[in-house]
Chain A
Amino acid sequence: MQTTFELLKTFTEAPGPSGRENTVRDRIAEHWTPLTDDLCTDAMGSLIALQRGSAPAPRPAVMLAAHMDEIGLIVTGLEGSFLRVHALGGIDRRVILGLDVIVHGRRPLPGVIGSRPPHVLSAEERRKIVSWQEVFVDTGLPAEELAGLVAVGDHITVDRELVALKNDLAAGKALDNRASVVTITLALEMLRSRQHAWDVYAVATVQEEVGLKGAITSAYHLAPQIAIALDVTFGKQYDDDRPGTFDLGKGPTIAMGPNFHPQVVERLKEAAKAEEIPYQHEPVSGGSGTDAWGIQVAREGIPTGLIEIPLRYMHQPVETAALRDIERAARLLASFVARLETDFRPQWEDEA
């Protein structure tokens, strides 16, 4: 069996820019197929896997959603032997100069985000954060060859290997949100050998980074009785420990606020306590900016919860998380699912 680090490496290093998730989807499907009873890809491209529950049919279903898409770049033009690009999702232009990328042309091409040498720039120009108008990608190919291989609209992803830092931390690209894909994978493994009454739909959603699209459509399709979204949240960093950041290594967060059904939140906390899984409380005053926000208003409304992994340097190619938080989130998720009684439905305090 792969270690959590190896699994995270497998998933984070696979390309899957919003709208072109096929490569990472194939990799996830390989891991989910032996863990589930049925598996399909929906019209939007989300990967849906079913692990059947033990209750007699018709059974209630819980949806576990983690987005598999990542932020990237898109080709806007060719200029000689260089590519002009724009952001695909919220990629951070403060961090992209000098970055290794893969251009997904007719075949994958290694590239680098170039910049003019400091020697020919003024002191003022050297200090400036690069504007999108100045950003270009260099593949080392001559103009004619490049034109035959790359077209406007082709996607570009960051090329970065996952590395192990001290104290069980891992750093790389696309931990937002492949860390949560790992969480679901580990939870599916646990639920394989643990009885659960409810059907479990594991969903790797598409296009979260461009507006939660895959979550909205897959929740409609599945119409689950409960949905748990899994995502990353802001980790405490050396230069940012204000409210709204969470310690790495102290467990996943359980979110609370209008985006979440109070009884689902309670159940998550109970599951954590029952199995002595450390977690952190995350108040979210409005939109959570996650799949949970889209799922909650699918169809006639779905009771929703959110588990998040604290992550440093979000949307940068050095996203950093603690492996044990990912493992704890998986245990929390499995425990929550296993404890759902067949006839349980989230209710309000004032409901009889």
Chain B
Amino acid sequence: MSDTLITTLQTLADLTGISGNETQIRSAIKARVASHVDSLHVDALGNLITCKHGTAENPLRVLVTAHMDEVGFMVVGHTGEGGLRVETVGGIPERLLPGSHVWVGKDHIPGVIGLQAIHRAHNNGDQNAAPIENLIIDIGAKNKDEAQEAAPLGTPITFATRFREMGALVSGKAFDDRAGCAVLIALLQGERLPCDVYGVFTVQEEVGLRGARVAAYAVEPHVAFALEGTLADDLPKEDKDVSPTTELGKGPAITVMDRSYTAAPRLLSHVLKTAQAEGIPHQIKQPGISGTEAGSIYATRGGVPALTIAVPCRYIHSPRALLHPGDLENTLRLVRAVIARLTPETLAIA
């Protein structure tokens, strides 16, 4: 099972799809799930909505989402000399950008982000990184016309990172949220569960949790789970008492509360009891940090109990993230078990 999850993650992570440009990812996912689900369609925003019927023992409709989009850049201008001006799509700290190789457009034209040589840079003691409006992506174009031709306004750009194994971990770009996509694909490829499972691969999470919102409206689920690749801060830091947020290798991270939502108590308790009963390692993510699709799903229509279950990843929103393969497997195990054990009574639905 782990081979399949990792291979899927590798394939998806090496593809490119910034928010609003998820086609490559959607095609790859479709090819993997089409024969395992009972229906499949693409909605107005580009969400891939699938349904896998249950064994009819249970009337619940369960929504499970994972977002296909990744953070990146978009071309917003061209310099007279042939450089590309860009803005970030989603949140990427500017100090991570200089020195990067990037892929420009769907043909992955190579580009680089460099600064004035340190030997020549005037530095008046400024210790701040260059703001994005001062950065230029160099594709080697010799003038503005050539740059415009190769990378017109709106061209998507991503980090040029290829998946690789690193020690006990695996690494690549866009683990937020191709990790969630890999888990959801495996869930749909697996055996039928007692209830109907709507597996939805969403768009535009990184620009405001927008895909999940309309998908939740359309599916009208009784309960929802957002699968994520979330941040791990189990890193060296000056203040040792700071929470690691999540830690690699300790199992799926369960979100009690983040900046977008608070978990429904009954649902949270069901998830924790399931993890304990099945002996699945798990951890509670430090509350109050970042936002997830559960936040846009739980306030849909009359309200939907929703919860985020995430694979801890170091260095999300950077050129290369790291995760522990065991966490990926345990996330899948937990999600399957949680859905299998769901009953209308769990949610107190009459």
Cross-chain contact B120 with A244 (CB below 8 angstroms): yes
Cross-chain contact A318 with B120 (CB below 8 angstroms): no
Contact pattern, B 169-209, Cβ under 8 Å of A = 1, otherwise 0: 11100000000000000000000000000000000000000
Given the known interface contacts A115-B318, A138-B314, A141-B167, the answer about A314 and B117 at a Cβ–Cβ threshold of 8 Å is: yes
> B120 — which chain A residues lie within 8 A by C-beta?
234, 240, 242, 244-245
Contact pattern, A 60-86, Cβ under 8 Å of B = 1, otherwise 0: 000000000000000000011010100
Cross-chain contact B112 with A320 (CB below 8 angstroms): yes
Cross-chain contact A127 with B94 (CB below 8 angstroms): yes
Pick the contact of A140: B81, B91, B168 (CB < 8 A): B168
Residue of B nearest to A131 (CB): B127
- 131-177 of chain A: CB within 8 A of chain B: 136, 138-142, 145-146, 160, 163-169, 171
Number of residues of chain B lying within 8 A (CB) of chain A? 66
Alpha-carbon separation in the docked complex, A107 to B51 (Å): 48
Pick the contact of B322: A99, A140, A244 (CB < 8 A): A140
Q: Counting chain B CB atoms within 10 Å of each CB, which of A117, A129, A317, A320 scores highest?
A: A117
> A116 — which chain B residues lie within 8 A by C-beta?
233, 235, 237
> A320 — which chain B residues lie within 8 A by C-beta?
112, 114, 138, 140
Contact pattern, B 126-142, Cβ under 8 Å of A = 1, otherwise 0: 01111000101011111
User: Would you call A128 an interface residue if the criterion is a C-beta within 8 Å of the partner chain's C-beta atoms?
Assistant: yes
> A249 — which chain B residues lie within 8 A by C-beta?
142
- 316-344 of chain A: CB within 8 A of chain B: 316-320
Q: At the interface, is chain B mostly helix, strand, loop or mixed?
A: loop
> A141 — which chain B residues lie within 8 A by C-beta?
166-168
Cross-chain contact A160 with B101 (CB below 8 angstroms): yes
Given the known interface contacts A127-B128, A238-B81, A238-B138, the answer about A120 and B96 at a Cβ–Cβ threshold of 8 Å is: no
Cross-chain contact B96 with A97 (CB below 8 angstroms): yes
Cross-chain contact B129 with A128 (CB below 8 angstroms): yes
> A136 — which chain B residues lie within 8 A by C-beta?
235-236
Given the known interface contacts A127-B129, A141-B168, the answer about A169 and B140 at a Cβ–Cβ threshold of 8 Å is: yes
| Min C-beta distance of A253 to chain B, whole Å | 15
Cross-chain contact B140 with A95 (CB below 8 angstroms): no
Given the known interface contacts A128-B129, A140-B322, A165-B111, the answer about A316 and B83 at a Cβ–Cβ threshold of 8 Å is: no
A-B interface, 8 closest residue pairs, ranked by CB to CB distance from nearest: A165-B140, A313-B114, A95-B99, A140-B167, A140-B166, A141-B167, A140-B169, A318-B112
Can you list 7 A-B contacts with CB-CB less than 8 angstroms, sorted by A residue number? Answer: A98-B100, A112-B315, A120-B233, A140-B171, A238-B81, A238-B136, A319-B114
